[in-house]
Chains A and B, each alone.
Chain A
């Protein structure tokens, strides 16, 4: 009987996530395992804590605590319990309340266990504070916060006070400070968990701390507008608030309601209520001191640059609320736990997606309505029974990260793949939620930050490519009558182009309802675009064809040169200002045509003609500009290929970044209408990205430790030069677009009657403003990055300390630099 029970239990536990347990811990074949060792059972119970809605998590918590405390002498079990608990705190934040619950119960059964967990957690916390890993600090403090009843005296509060004191120092020192805000955020996101804990009588401390954080949290940081999803300039009402300012008022509300904290689970509650004889109340257990933590002064900056964070919900303003409103603290608490889970577990998108789908397991029961309840059905649920829609809350959290400014924590494609995975696990539940998110984003296209609307575009096309390119296009059919430069029309054309790039034109055409197919022009369906010199109507057609044949035959430059010269001769006689322009056109167009078979074909063509193309850059800037024109024109119907070739030409330094900008923002600006084209934004962003990446590499080289003269000066010279080049680049963008935004661009003025009142003029000016916002932000972010990095760099003139003298006077210098 006993045997049977045990096996049964083992089976029940093993049913879930068997793949994970077996892979990680036990590779022995199933048949031989006739009784699972105890430590394996504890591991599994811990790792899967709260994962199943079918079992009471309270039972698991008690069973874990019991096993561990009864087998306190088994070192393996003890060590696993401590380590895995902390690992979970750091990797699966949604489980923190449950892990803390298990530790609370274990502590009351065996106080030594609690002390062991605390000392290990304290060590880890100290390490993370010293390295400035603030997310890990936040999670460990949250965990320690729930353990508040086991501490002597005020427990965690002195640490929170100390962190606050550092925040004040930082804020007083500089109004631009962001690290102080991060510390305030940590305090804010700890308080609810301390108040949630079984400890009582700390309301006064919490309120006092809350009063203090108010001034810092409620003062808007200068950078908030810069990273807002919606430019306040375009739509003041849509612009979101910073997370810490929202959290501040939510906390104050919560304090006034006696810390209700409805959504957070309290798995220890039932346990302490029921098992009074065996379990001592958490309040009366052996008290232990809070782990000793020293907070360095000043606190260090972590490896990740900090920016203010803005709260974004793609489900705002629906007729029925499916996600908590920003007045409800649940919005911040759930979002915070989800966002950390998402960003910490980027190495397994499948597991992360599973956590997102199962999110209702990790909060108070009935915080969410039943999974996969259709939106329309929510209307029928009586208001008092209504709760949040779990899929919407999950999807909202992923979008908040995909749309993080100035940059997402991981590559954007991670968030794409995560949404894809969620859709694969629960298609019926997730797909409709995504649909509503897409509609919200589509309707916000005009006011959304331009960089974000391009991220949306890229995600949208990539997502559809994973699901057979099915989308209800018919609902936007009326928008096809909008002018081509309207943001919605620009989105539709941009999205179709991206779909084609991932697939092919015919396939995409087949997925589109009327009247969309007309957008896929015959030109897009052609694998090889026409070679314009095939037509006798094209000037220099004879020479053009000759050059093409020569390139195809892999002829030498000497063989090609006479034909080039012939074009230039003719052009000169016809009074063409720069004869190199028509000859370059013929040459580059031929290259594109011969290389049209694939990217590697065109690359090998470019490789062979590298010298000629490189020489053009120095000989004639107009000819260099023509290189871009020829490529873009040849591939006009498939702009993705064109910008890819431009990208490679930049790598070969045949083109300079500035020449690409000049081509787009001056030569081809077309009264500003070019700004509405998604692929142009993509090309310019990529070009600027190349420059800023290189700049960051130089900064990394300049700031590496152990660098001395004369290398210091050499690298510094490069840095100064390239920094100036980068500034020129940003200045050029600014100068070119500022006139479009103001409506004073020459070509704009010449359009129509010059009044600037054409219906499209307002749209063009808006494109200008949105472009400016993106590139001003990029410029500011890069400048800040360089300035911050150089602040800690070895000063010029530092020479390497001599080995022998190391113990002498030089040591002081070396020490000073090391700071």
Chain B
């Protein structure tokens, strides 16, 4: 009901800096083409959320249990490892209304599920193919090069893991 055009404190139901910058980059590259569209436009009626930083072991039921607190869920798409077809730590949650999606950003994004702080970002909508990890080894890119050990997301980054494995093999062979 506010008259205000800007609020006196920030809003949590805005697209993330990641989404905005991703679109900015694209806009910059396509400079010569038609007038770039405002990234916010695509999200004006968005009902889908990208949810990240899930544990690989978090189930659909757990996600459902938490996210249905913001409204009835229309569709839930688990993010899968491109090769193994196992959960790889993200998902898309689609609601019936835009408002439910915004409320989810405000009330659920940044809280814990399965004892991990999860990330929620407004998404223009799920498309076939987006459920798969885009990392080299099939999972999410961020899980390739992680230096810390994260038991919920397959331990160390997979790229490092491979390297470690190789080193170990070579060392063994040399001996």
**B8 contacts across to A, CB distance below 8 A:** 47, 84, 87-88, 91-92
Complex CA–CA separation, A412 to B66 (angstroms): 12
| 0/1 string, A409-431, CB within 8 A of B gives 1 | 01111101100100000000000
Complex CA–CA separation, A462 to B113 (angstroms): 9
**B142 contacts across to A, CB distance below 8 A:** none
**B111 contacts across to A, CB distance below 8 A:** 417, 420, 466
**B59 contacts across to A, CB distance below 8 A:** 598
Q: Tell me whether A373 is interfacial, beta carbon within 8 Å.
A: no
**A45 contacts across to B, CB distance below 8 A:** none
Residue in contact with B1 in the complex, picked from A47, A136, A350, A644, CB distance below 8 Å: A136
Size range of the interface on B?
20 to 34
Q: Tell me whether A503 is interfacial, beta carbon within 8 Å.
A: yes
| 0/1 string, B113-129, CB within 8 A of A gives 1 | 11100000000000000
Q: B61 and A599: CB pair below 8 A?
A: yes
Q: B76 and A414: CB pair below 8 A?
A: no
Complex CA–CA separation, A86 to B4 (angstroms): 9
A16 to B: closest C-beta gap in Å: 13
Q: A462 and B62: CB pair below 8 A?
A: no
A741 to B: closest C-beta gap in Å: 30
A242 to B: closest C-beta gap in Å: 24
| 0/1 string, B2-24, CB within 8 A of A gives 1 | 11101111111100000000000
Residue in contact with B62 in the complex, picked from A47, A91, A128, A501, CB distance below 8 Å: A501
Complex CA–CA separation, A47 to B11 (angstroms): 15
**B54 contacts across to A, CB distance below 8 A:** none
**A131 contacts across to B, CB distance below 8 A:** 1
Residue in contact with B66 in the complex, picked from A84, A92, A502, A599, CB distance below 8 Å: A502
Q: Tell me whether A298 is interfacial, beta carbon within 8 Å.
A: no
| 0/1 string, A446-483, CB within 8 A of B gives 1 | 00000000000000001001101000000000000000
Complex CA–CA separation, A90 to B1 (angstroms): 10
Q: Tell me whether A749 is interfacial, beta carbon within 8 Å.
A: no
Q: B61 and A348: CB pair below 8 A?
A: no
Q: Tell me whether A24 is interfacial, beta carbon within 8 Å.
A: yes
Given known contacts A347-B13, A503-B62, A599-B76, A91 and B7 CB-to-CB distance under 8 angstroms: yes
Q: Tell me whether A439 is interfacial, beta carbon within 8 Å.
A: no
Q: Tell me whether B112 is interfacial, beta carbon within 8 Å.
A: yes
Q: Tell me whether A20 is interfacial, beta carbon within 8 Å.
A: yes
Complex CA–CA separation, A347 to B2 (angstroms): 12
Q: B12 and A413: CB pair below 8 A?
A: no
Q: A351 and B10: CB pair below 8 A?
A: yes
Residues 105 to 145 of chain A near chain B (Cβ within 8 Å): 124, 127-128, 131, 133, 135-136
**B1 contacts across to A, CB distance below 8 A:** 128, 131, 133, 135-136, 303
Q: Tell me whether A180 is interfacial, beta carbon within 8 Å.
A: no
Given known contacts A20-B9, A349-B12, A411 and B62 CB-to-CB distance under 8 angstroms: no
Q: B115 and A91: CB pair below 8 A?
A: no
Q: A24 and B61: CB pair below 8 A?
A: no
Question: Which one of B38-46, B100-108, B164-172 is at the A interface?
Answer: B100-108
Residue in contact with B11 in the complex, picked from A90, A347, A465, CB distance below 8 Å: A347
Complex CA–CA separation, A173 to B62 (angstroms): 52
Complex CA–CA separation, A468 to B117 (angstroms): 12
Q: A468 and B70: CB pair below 8 A?
A: no
Q: Which residue of B lies closest to A644 (CB)?
A: B64
Complex CA–CA separation, A37 to B128 (angstroms): 51
Q: Tell me whether A641 is interfacial, beta carbon within 8 Å.
A: yes
Q: Tell me whether A345 is interfacial, beta carbon within 8 Å.
A: yes
Q: Which residue of B lies closest to A638 (CB)?
A: B61
Q: Which residue of A lies closest to B109 (CB)?
A: A417
Q: A413 and B62: CB pair below 8 A?
A: no
Q: Tell me whether A600 is interfacial, beta carbon within 8 Å.
A: yes
Q: Tell me whether B150 is interfacial, beta carbon within 8 Å.
A: no
Q: A351 and B9: CB pair below 8 A?
A: yes
Q: Tell me whether B30 is interfacial, beta carbon within 8 Å.
A: no
Q: A503 and B114: CB pair below 8 A?
A: yes
Q: Tell me whether A525 is interfacial, beta carbon within 8 Å.
A: no
**A420 contacts across to B, CB distance below 8 A:** 111
Complex CA–CA separation, A350 to B1 (angstroms): 21
Q: Tell me whether B34 is interfacial, beta carbon within 8 Å.
A: no
Given known contacts A413-B70, A600-B76, A644-B61, A349 and B106 CB-to-CB distance under 8 angstroms: yes
Q: A91 and B2: CB pair below 8 A?
A: yes
Q: Which residue of A lies closest to B71 (CB)?
A: A411
Complex CA–CA separation, A600 to B79 (angstroms): 13
Q: B112 and A466: CB pair below 8 A?
A: yes
Q: B107 and A348: CB pair below 8 A?
A: no
Most chain B CB atoms below 10 A, which of A47, A92, A124, A466: A466
Q: A345 and B9: CB pair below 8 A?
A: yes
Q: Tell me whether B69 is interfacial, beta carbon within 8 Å.
A: yes
Q: Identify whether the interface residues of B are mostly helix, strand, loop, or mixed.
A: loop
Q: Which residue of B lies closest to A414 (CB)?
A: B107
Complex CA–CA separation, A131 to B112 (angstroms): 39
Q: Tell me whether A640 is interfacial, beta carbon within 8 Å.
A: yes
Q: A348 and B60: CB pair below 8 A?
A: no
Q: Which residue of B lies closest to A420 (CB)?
A: B111
**B2 contacts across to A, CB distance below 8 A:** 87, 90-91, 136, 344
Q: Tell me whether B65 is interfacial, beta carbon within 8 Å.
A: yes
Q: Tell me whether A23 is interfacial, beta carbon within 8 Å.
A: yes
**B69 contacts across to A, CB distance below 8 A:** 411-413, 416, 462
A165 to B: closest C-beta gap in Å: 25
Q: A348 and B11: CB pair below 8 A?
A: yes
Q: B3 and A502: CB pair below 8 A?
A: no
Residues 68 to 120 of chain B near chain A (Cβ within 8 Å): 69-71, 76, 78, 103, 106-108, 111-115
Q: A641 and B61: CB pair below 8 A?
A: yes
| 0/1 string, A489-511, CB within 8 A of B gives 1 | 00000000000011110000000
Q: A411 and B107: CB pair below 8 A?
A: yes
Q: A411 and B103: CB pair below 8 A?
A: yes
**B71 contacts across to A, CB distance below 8 A:** 411
B32 to A: closest C-beta gap in Å: 27
Complex CA–CA separation, A462 to B64 (angstroms): 13
**B108 contacts across to A, CB distance below 8 A:** 413, 417
Residues 586 to 623 of chain A near chain B (Cβ within 8 Å): 598-600
A173 to B: closest C-beta gap in Å: 26
Complex CA–CA separation, A462 to B66 (angstroms): 8
B78 to A: closest C-beta gap in Å: 8
Complex CA–CA separation, A91 to B1 (angstroms): 10
Q: A599 and B107: CB pair below 8 A?
A: no
Q: A346 and B106: CB pair below 8 A?
A: yes
A348 to B: closest C-beta gap in Å: 5
Complex CA–CA separation, A644 to B68 (angstroms): 10
Residue in contact with B61 in the complex, picked from A87, A303, A501, CB distance below 8 Å: A501
Q: Which residue of B lies closest to A23 (CB)?
A: B10
B30 to A: closest C-beta gap in Å: 24
Q: Which residue of B lies closest to A302 (CB)?
A: B1
Complex CA–CA separation, A5 to B104 (angstroms): 46
**B13 contacts across to A, CB distance below 8 A:** 347
**B112 contacts across to A, CB distance below 8 A:** 465-466
Complex CA–CA separation, A412 to B68 (angstroms): 11
Q: B9 and A413: CB pair below 8 A?
A: no
**A91 contacts across to B, CB distance below 8 A:** 2, 4, 7-9
**A92 contacts across to B, CB distance below 8 A:** 8-9
Q: B115 and A465: CB pair below 8 A?
A: yes
Complex CA–CA separation, A600 to B108 (angstroms): 22
Q: Which residue of B lies closest to A346 (CB)?
A: B106
Complex CA–CA separation, A465 to B112 (angstroms): 7
Given known contacts A413-B107, A413-B108, A417-B107, A24 and B6 CB-to-CB distance under 8 angstroms: yes
B118 to A: closest C-beta gap in Å: 11
A117 to B: closest C-beta gap in Å: 14
Given known contacts A411-B69, A417-B111, A598 and B10 CB-to-CB distance under 8 angstroms: no
Can you list 12 A-B contacts (CB < 8 A)?
Answer: A136-B1, A349-B12, A410-B103, A413-B107, A414-B107, A417-B111, A465-B113, A468-B115, A600-B76, A640-B61, A644-B61, A644-B64
Given A87-B2, A128-B1, A136-B1, 15 additional A-B pairs, CB 8 A:
A87-B7, A127-B3, A348-B11, A348-B12, A349-B106, A349-B107, A462-B66, A465-B112, A465-B113, A502-B66, A502-B114, A503-B62, A503-B115, A640-B61, A640-B65
